[in-house]
Structure 1
Amino acid sequence: MLLTWVRRLEICVGLAHALSYIHYDESRDFSVIHRRISSGTVLLNDGWEPKLCEFEDSMKIKASQRHHSFHTNRVIGVIGYGDPTYLETNRVSHKSDIYSFGIVMFELLCGRESIIDSDTNKYLAPLASTHYREKRLDEIIDWDLWKQMDSQSFNIFAETAYDCLNEEQSQRPNIDEIVSRLEKALDYQNAVTLFFLFHLYIFV
């Protein structure tokens, strides 16, 4: 079933809130790095609300250490979603989850899986990043989705997804900034939808 752009935005906002909760909630003295963020670890209930699952390989750290990175003996992750810095150095942080979340965002934006075995451009991350830099993202977005997007909503969403894939972990936005950006993107899209419905009602 093809999800509308508004629905995709709502799913991303919900998932961002879930990540914000596990990364840092003021009521707790600990924080969690998920390490396996992917489209496969996000479940949707009957109301299309996202539920983050599969915490078996997550790391629990002190809340005061949430801005630190940690050396691991074994890299945990899902192929196609892994943070390159983590893969190269064995050092994981909350920004590793942010990278993986960026891949999920591009999957929802482009209507493509993170890996397409039959495609010349097998991995979505470099494909999406290159098209974003060259201002050609529309070429890899499903046309039906593209027609639904408000330009301001699209620009905010695409820039955020791209920023999540920054090679430098420290340059990736934190989850609270992502929540704020995505909520703004959703507000822009909802405003356009309401405007359209209002004028449709008047002229029918």
Structure 2
Amino acid sequence: MDLMDIILEGECSSELPKRHNEVYIKRFFPKDDVHEEELFFTELEVHTSIEHDNIVTLIGFCVEGFEMILVTEKCSNTLQEYLGNVRTMRTLTWEKRLKICIDLAHALSYLHSEMEEKKMIIHNNINHHRFGWDENLVAKIDDFEFAAFLPPNQNDEVLCKRTNFESKYHVDPEFEKTGKLKKESDVYSFGVVLLEILCGRYAFDQSYLNESEKGLVHVARQNFCNGTIEEMIDLILKEETGIKSYNPNRGANKDSLHTFMKVANQCVAETQDHRPTMKVVLDELKKALIFQVCEVRLCMYS
């Protein structure tokens, strides 16, 4: 079944959609921008090709003249709203942050290597705007308008010239320089988000720009090489880790932190060949969670 068959089936279907408390309505304007129609159909094709617990669900769409609309489920919390806000970040314990990261890694690993018929999707626009989670702390990825499909037996890259990026601080430098988009480009962008979650600040926070015009990644790399990466950890996590014997459910286990920081640093390696796959990233994040959960249980029963 091709995309047009899916569209016609969707227009003719009389089934009532599952109810959602909140939805996200996204309008495209092909009349004003010739690229908008392509972006609409790219995102629609992604949503009709995948089904995953950690990817937002398509609820409906409209194609009528110049009117193109997608309706998807809306997460009640977004990473964008939390970063840099002391009050909201304080509600995210280290264990919660790990679980959010693991959910997102699950989604990217699925897109990169676990789809049927060995197809691959590169998201191509990963940053803190793309991530959110519901009231049950199930994290999800959205917005696939810049996604790239790689069919079976094709080289693991695609030429994709883009000049406008929502956040240049999340863009793979090798992709930006060569135009060669690979799944490692998503890995880099995800690594930036991991560092943002670790540090509790946006990648373009002024404190990082004061040290380097490249922002968080460049500063984190330098600190990692100097053995001072722990100095960049979110102050809230530092405080909670320092008193974890009194509040084990909030404090961060050292082994858990180090495992997380190591894989985040590997994700943002300068060259694509030196970055891990999302499967490896997912396994390391799970390992970090195991260290954390075991520490909490030991504190509870000691």
Q: Same fold (TM over 0.5)?
A: yes
Partner deviation per Cα, 1:61-116 (whole Å, 9 max, x = no partner): 11433x62222232564321000001111111000000000000001111111111
**Deviations 1:101-149 (CA, angstroms, capped at 9, x unpaired):** 0000001111111111465135111011111111111211123313122
Contact 2:150–2:156 (Cα < 8 Å) also in 1: no
2:227 aligns with: 135
Give the TM-score of the pair, scaled to structure 1: 0.91
Q: Is the 8 A contact 1:37 1:100 kept in 2?
A: yes
Alignment of 1:162 onto 2:254: no
Instruction: Look up the match of 1:59.
Output: 148
The 8 Å contact of residues 35 and 76 in structure 1, kept in 2 or not, is answered as no
Query: Does the 8 Å CA contact 1:35/1:96 hold for their aligned counterparts?
Result: yes
Structure 2 distance, partners of 1:161, 1:51, is: 19
Q: In the superposition, relative to structure 1, how do residues 74 and 142 fare at CA in structure 2: closer, same or farther (>3 Å)?
A: closer
Measured in 1, the distance between the counterparts of 2:144 and 2:119 equals 15
Q: Which is higher, the Rg of structure 1 or of structure 2? A: 2
Task: Tell me what 1:17 maps to.
Answer: 106
* Paired AA for residue 72 in structure 1: C
Percent identity, aligned pairs only, is 29
TM-score for the superposition, normalised by structure 2 = 0.62
CA RMSD of aligned residues (A): 1.6
Q: Distance in 1 between matches of 2:137 and 2:173?
A: 31
Q: Which residue identity is paired with 1:74?
A: R
Q: Alignment partner of 2:161: what SS?
A: coil
In 1, Cα distance between equivalents of 2:230 and 2:295 = 20
The aligned length equals 198
Q: Distance in 1 between matches of 2:201 and 2:189?
A: 15
| Aligned partner of 1:89 among 156, 160, 178 | 178
Are residue 187 (structure 1) and residue 290 (structure 2) matched? yes
Structure 1 residue 160 displacement after superposition: 0.2
Question: 1:26-73: per-residue Cα shift (whole Å, max 9, x none)?
Answer: 5233110001111110011111211100001100111433x6222223
Aligned residues of 1:11 and 1:50 also touching (Cα < 8 A): yes
Question: Larger relative contact order (C-alpha < 8 A, sep ≥ 6)?
Answer: 1
Q: Does residue 5 of the first structure (1) align with residue 5 of the second (2)? A: no
**Cα distance in 2, alignment partners of residues 11 and 30 from structure 1:** 25
Amino acid at match of 1:180: D
Structure with more of its chain in helix, by fraction? 1
Q: Unpaired segments of 5 or more residues in structure 2?
A: 1-87, 242-250
Q: Residue 48 of structure 1 aligns to a residue in which SS?
A: coil
